[in-house]
């Protein structure tokens, strides 16, 4: 019975208050009932009224009416405390399975609101003592043990202001689903290298970058004695100081992290790959990710480096097996499809940038 009522309640809330990343509380979304203390207060009012009428004591009857009026006034102030409250969801920070997700939420109101509690079901609450016209940030926690797309569902906003006689609350869905990465599990690096020449490269050198002239790396402060040909003259003309352009080139062929899924140890494999992705990113090593799928096309992220590539790999690991969606195309690292069940890892061809190309781009 409880499960049926809960399902009906959630469907009714979804129709009345559909998911939105920004929400303003109004009469359609605020509910008010007496609190435990409020029920005791009403019981006292009833008791005083019966006592006054039984003994024909006008003073006691007047006191009961006064207390009832005060209770009615609290209903209005409890509603006003939440009415007009605006909530906006922000993007949560990166989180791994087993860690607590912290959902940042901005609150503001066109009037002063006091003592507002926010919490997700079965999680600790966050108390905001005062909300005004300026944005106030609340960090609402949500315990989670699973990887993948996690939705905290509806946020409960609650207040017993001003006297604790009434409890005003609302349940809103801020549509802030978040991708939780696989929990990193330290393990030896299991790398594979594919060479066009057919000769094996030492894995401790393959995929790393060294100083060279092939690809543009960035700018660094100019050191006396360095060639003036590498000076970023445009930046110098803009008043940014004397800077030198850095170039690099790959050492050997890129390395790959590969997943051959074992249904009995899949989560452990994904956790190990999650740690290895972070480790290779810390080492600034050029690597790719190949996730084999028993059903459907394999997911292949072309070799790259940088934080955007690390995030793309972690997203692919987090979503593996959940659905066929791959990391966003907006990621700087490319995602290739159609390489399922191929016997060899496709070699990666590096793009070459000359100094004149970089100068034009800057």
What are the structural domain ranges in the chain? 18-181, 182-209+250-323
CA angle 242, 243, 248 (to 5 degrees): 160
Tens-level pLDDT at each residue, the chain (362 residues): 778 888 888 888 888 888 888 999 998 899 999 999 999 999 999 999 999 998 888 999 999 999 999 999 999 999 999 999 999 999 999 999 999 999 999 999 988 999 999 999 889 999 999 999 899 999 999 998 899 999 888 999 999 999 999 999 999 999 888 999 999 998 887 777 654 434 444 444 444 554 444 555 566 676 666 666 666 666 667 766 777 776 655 555 678 898 888 888 899 999 999 999 999 888 888 889 999 888 878 888 988 888 999 999 999 999 998 743 334 433 433 333 333 334 344 444 333 333 344 344 44
Beta bridge partners of 155: 172
Query: For the chain, give me the number of helices (H) and strands (E)?
Result: 7, 18
d(CA 300, CA 187): 22
Architecture of domain 18-181: Sandwich (2.60)
pLDDT tens per residue, range 77-99 = 999 999 999 999 999 999 999 99
pLDDT tens per residue, range 154-173 = 999 999 999 999 999 999 99
d(CA 174, CA 154): 7
| Cα distance between the two ends of the chain | 67
Q: Which residues contact 189 (CB under 8 A, 6 or more apart)?
A: 203, 276, 279, 280
Classify each residue of 245-268 as buried b or exposed e, where b means 16 or more C-beta atoms within 10 Å of its C-beta: bebbebbbbbbbbbbeeeeeeeee
SS3 227: coil
CA angle 322, 190, 352 (to 5 degrees): 90
d(CA 359, CA 355): 6
pTM listed for this prediction: 0.70
Is residue 170 within 8 A of residue 29, CB to CB? The reply is: yes
Q: In what order do the strands lie in the sheet with 113-119?
A: 31-34, 166-172, 155-159, 113-119, 126-131
Beta-sheet strands, E only, within 11-165 = 22-24, 31-34, 86-89, 100-108, 113-119, 126-131, 136-143, 148-150, 155-159
d(CA 58, CA 48): 11
DSSP state of 132: -
């Amino acid at each position: 019975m409880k499960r049926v009522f809960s399902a009906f309640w959630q469907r009714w809330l979804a129709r009345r208050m559909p998911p939105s990343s920004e929400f303003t509380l109004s009469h359609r979304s605020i509910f008010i009932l007496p609190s435990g203390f409020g029920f005791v207060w009403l019981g006292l009012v009833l008791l005083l009224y019966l006592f006054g009428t039984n003994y024909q004591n006008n003073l006691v009857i007047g006191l009961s009416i006064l207390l009832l009026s005060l209770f009615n006034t609290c209903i209005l102030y409890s509603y006003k405390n939440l009415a007009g409250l605006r909530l906006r969801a922000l993007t949560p920070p990166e989180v791994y399975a087993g860690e607590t997700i912290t959902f940042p939420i901005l609150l503001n109101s066109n009037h002063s609101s006091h003592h507002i509690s926010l919490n997700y079901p079965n999680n600790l609450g966050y108390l905001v003592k005062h909300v005004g016209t300026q944005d106030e940030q609340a960090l609402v926690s949500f315990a989670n043990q699973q990887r993948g797309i996690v939705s905290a569902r509806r946020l409960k906003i609650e207040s017993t202001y001003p006297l604790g006689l009434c409890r005003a609350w609302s349940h809103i869905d801020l549509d802030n689903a978040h991708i939780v990465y696989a929990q990193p599990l330290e393990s030896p690096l299991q790398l594979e290298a594919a060479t066009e020449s057919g000769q094996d490269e030492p894995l401790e050198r393959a995929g790393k970058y060294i100083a060279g002239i092939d690809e543009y790396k960035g700018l660094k402060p100019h050191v006396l004695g360095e060639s003036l040909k590498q000076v970023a003259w445009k930046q110098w003309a803009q008043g940014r100081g004397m800077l030198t352009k850095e170039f690099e080139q790959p050492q050997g062929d890129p390395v790959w992290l590969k997943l051959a899924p074992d249904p009995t140890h899949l989560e452990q494999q994904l956790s190990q790959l999650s740690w290895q992705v972070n480790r290779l990113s810390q080492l600034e090593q050029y690597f790719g990710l190949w996730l084999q799928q028993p059903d459907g096309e394999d997911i292949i992220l072309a070799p790259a480096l940088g934080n955007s590539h690390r995030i793309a790999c972690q997203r692919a690991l987090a979503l593996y097996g959940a659905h066929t969606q791959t990391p966003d195309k907006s990621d700087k690292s490319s995602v290739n499809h159609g390489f399922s069940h191929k016997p060899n890892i496709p070699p990666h061809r590096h793009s070459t940038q000359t100094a004149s190309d970089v100068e034009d781009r800057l």
